[in-house]
Amino acid sequence: MRDIRADLQDRAHSVAHQMSTEDARFENLVSQLRAEQDSKLEHLRAQLRLANKLLEFTVWQDKVRADLATRIAVAEAAENLIKKSVGTAASS
């Protein structure tokens, strides 16, 4: 029987080298996928920031609109009161 130890060691080294190569390839692919995912997430985060700014603006606009409506109502009431008092003074 011949000694096959050297042959088995060569095969083991070859398999270990193949595994190392495939592991490096796998890690490279994982890194690429993470970079792509991060890029997509950053794009989505930017869109979310813009949407939040738009929501802030609409809330501000609604508050301004409500404030203006209240001030207009007060001004109209004051104008009507002045008209009544001027009309009453002129009638007397």
pTM for the full predicted model: 0.55
Q: How far is CA 57 from CA 7, 39, 60, 80, in A?
A: 75, 27, 5, 34
> Which residues lie closer than 8 Å to 23 by C-beta, 6 or more apart?
none
- The pLDDT value recorded for residue 86 is 87
Which residues of the chain, if any, have pLDDT below 70?
1-2, 89-92
**Could you give the CA distance from residue 84 to residue 77 in angstroms, rounded to a whole number?**
11
Query: What distance lies between CA 65 and its chain's CA centroid?
Result: 27
**How many angstroms separate the CA atoms of 9 and 17, rounded?**
12
Specify the pLDDT at position 23.
Answer: 98
